[in-house]
């Protein structure tokens, strides 16, 4: 049996080969193959999205940290929280920066819960290229809302992620929760 990723890259496979079934007791992977294009081109950005965020994607600017919409989201409402200070080493965050990033992450969870009623959330840091960090020289926290069944046949088989709302509209809806 081939891993499901092979099916996506290799158009020919035997009909009896099927993607592996997942044990319901084990979490399903968060599948976002469209992010590969972003990760491969991240070094070519002419600016840092945290130091100079797109105004329409800026959700909140705090004293030590910023909240922005992820332009390449895993799911609708995917937020990024980063310190203002441009640094790539998690261990160099000051206590004030670390506290504000995590408090804004918690506010993001509450804002998403109030506006979109997700069934759960993933929060995490991708530190280093091999860990999935598309922007490894400016540490940031991911706040990802999750819904039952949010990994459906569309992203798994069709290489298509359906985001039902424009990022700018999501940012508009979330901003009042940070005031």
Catalytic residues: 140
Residues 6+ away with beta carbon under 8 Å from 171: 56, 57, 58, 59, 69
- In which residue are the tokens 């940290």 written? 65
Residue 79: beta bridge partners?
Answer: 69, 143
Closest listed residue to residue 164, CA positions, set 123, 121, 116: 116
Place of tokens 């100079």: 52
Angle at 175 between CA 170 and CA 179, to 5 degrees: 165
Q: Which residue has the tokens 């099916």?
A: 7
């Amino acid at each position: 049996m081939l891993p499901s990723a092979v099916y996506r890259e290799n158009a020919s496979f035997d009909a009896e080969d099927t993607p592996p079934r997942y044990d319901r007791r084990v979490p399903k992977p968060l599948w976002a193959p469209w992010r590969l294009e972003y990760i491969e081109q991240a070094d070519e950005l002419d600016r840092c999205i945290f130091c100079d965020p797109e105004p329409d994607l800026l959700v909140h600017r705090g004293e030590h940290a910023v909240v922005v919409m992820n332009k390449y989201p895993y799911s609708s409402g995917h937020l990024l929280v980063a310190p203002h200070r441009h640094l790539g080493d998690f261990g160099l965050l000051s206590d004030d920066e670390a506290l504000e990033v995590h408090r804004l992450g918690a506010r993001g969870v509450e804002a998403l819960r109030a506006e979109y009623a997700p069934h759960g959330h993933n929060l995490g840091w991708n530190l280093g290229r091999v860990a999935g960090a598309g922007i490894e020289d400016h540490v940031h926290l991911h706040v990802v809302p999750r819904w039952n069944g949010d990994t459906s046949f569309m992203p798994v088989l069709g290489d298509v992620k359906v985001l039902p709302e424009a990022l700018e509209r999501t940012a508009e809806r979330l901003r009042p929760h940070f005031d």
